[in-house]
Structure 1
Amino acid sequence: MTKTIGFLIFPDLQVLDCAGPLAAFEIAGRYQPGAYALKVMAVEPGMVSATCGLALAAGALQPPRTLDTLVVAGGEGTRPACEDPRTLDYVRQAAVHARRVASVCSGAYILAAAGLLDGRRATTHWNRSGDFARRFPAVRLEADRIFVKDGPVWTSAGITAGIDLALALIADDLGEEIARRTAQQLVVYHRRPGGQSQFSALLELERPESRFGPVLEWAREHLTHPLTVEQLADVAAMSARNFARAFAAETGVTPAKAVERLRLDAARARLDAGEAQVDQIARQVGFGDPDRMRRAFLRAFGQPPQAFRRASRRAA
């Protein structure tokens, strides 16, 4: 049976939030003809301008009962869209009638404003995670993930992560082989190296002008230390309670999660370089034992450390 995938767009969308997933579904349909019917829709149909100046032709909103999946784009236009009763009502109806609802990047704001994410796990672009967490405290934000599935609701991180999301949805529909062939045609990874984690988030936070940049820089240089909240708070010249609260509010992740990400990044670099055995690397980056590091890799990347070592050897 053909599955109708509706892409909800609006003025000032980020064009890749729609075009990337749209291309993935279109290519998957080549490998299994008739699998998908793709509909680009807007509350006000016609030519809809993206922030880059490109205009997309959007049709009228499809009846929610006819949709298999609704994909909500992101971009600067999410702010007015979050205040548009027509948009929110349509998204709510789609959540009732469609099999799945998904968002790309800041499209998660629209799902949250419609109440679809209350009590659910979700993600969005790392640069918006702090603001998102403050505006929607009922959402269980996982700020460092590329995409998150919680029941019938899927959310993804910024821009190109929409392709990762689409490939996961395609795998869910048509199987891993079709998703893999689609990824090959797009010249992207079926499972992005580094798994489902937004690497750039901590890199941005470590900038010297960032409030917590010096703390993270110090932590990266002392990975073999316990790196407790109390230690990090001392570096920031704050009380432990205020530090933990302020850090989570600004970054969208807890100090413990940030430390884990620093250790994971350091471990990945050592695995890629082939510098040492896995158990040695675990000690060098502060995990202590390889089993603890393995569990962290599986949580963040969906793969054990050995998979990264094998991939590096193949690339070499």
Structure 2
Amino acid sequence: MNMSTVSAPSQSKRLESCTRAARHIGLLLFEQCCIYNAGVISEAFRLANELQAGSAAGPAYHLSLISRSGGNISTSSSISIWTHHLHEYSVGDFDALFVACSKSEAMADHDPHLLAWLFGSERAISDGNDHTHRSASDGTKGRAPTVPIYWFKDIPMAAWSGCEAPVHLALAKIEADFGPNVARRVVSELQPQPLEHSNAPAGDMSVTTTTDKIHASAGWIKENFSKSISISDAAEVAAMSNRNYLRRFKAEFGVTPQQYLMNVRFELICRLLIESDLPVDKIARRCGMGNGDRLGRLFRRRYGMSPTAYRADGGAGVHEQLEL
């Protein structure tokens, strides 16, 4: 996912820094957003810029990521994204605004500042349409007050069935601006996975995209190691089928996702045994190992000694054993 068109902290906060012909696209994100959805929207507009290169004085689109708090926000994959603060702009500063939640979710959120920014005096109106034009009350000159707002459910690709995929909304905007031929060319450049509700073989994706998604899932495993994690859960984070996810994960890390999870757990278990006086049973629960008896069996199988013996030796016995 190439997000090179996204504005960075060193760039000007206003559209004036961009070429006048560029259409300003806003992408409103929230904490724990899905990085894949943000990336695929960015990629669609980046490709449109490439296809339109030479036909205008500058890029066709300029994309700005925004959030309620601004700065770095955390994604569901434990990767941070830098964003502009919501109030650096008004809705009228954008030619189109993409919002990473459904309209019903935004209304249920009851954040008066967010709703006032989005809808102005019309913030209580809801017509049930998930992507609609809405008037924005702002003082921006030279810009029509009606801005298209594209709402999308910010969920993993595996759960898109029955929903309109974020990339389809981006393509709708590109088609409206430059016609169906350009939109079709963008589709042809995009990988097929964002456009189909299917478990296509991971080998069809670029190596970079696959690697990013596998590492994102590994970050998610590290973040959720204390919980009961299934292969299906981790594969969903990577937006892959279970079979392809297992194959790609082992190729990237040399271990299966289950082994990776156990490595993460035992790393913390060993540290807690040495650096704390917590009972073994409590360490087991904290690290997702169930109880002390189960932890003891797995610890002996892995290290050849009990957790209490490891604690008494300060970990020296294990290190000596691993060095042999």
Which category of TM-score, normalised to the shorter sequence, fits these structures? 0.3 to 0.5
Q: TM-score, normalised by structure 2?
A: 0.39
* Larger gyration radius, structure 1 or structure 2: 2
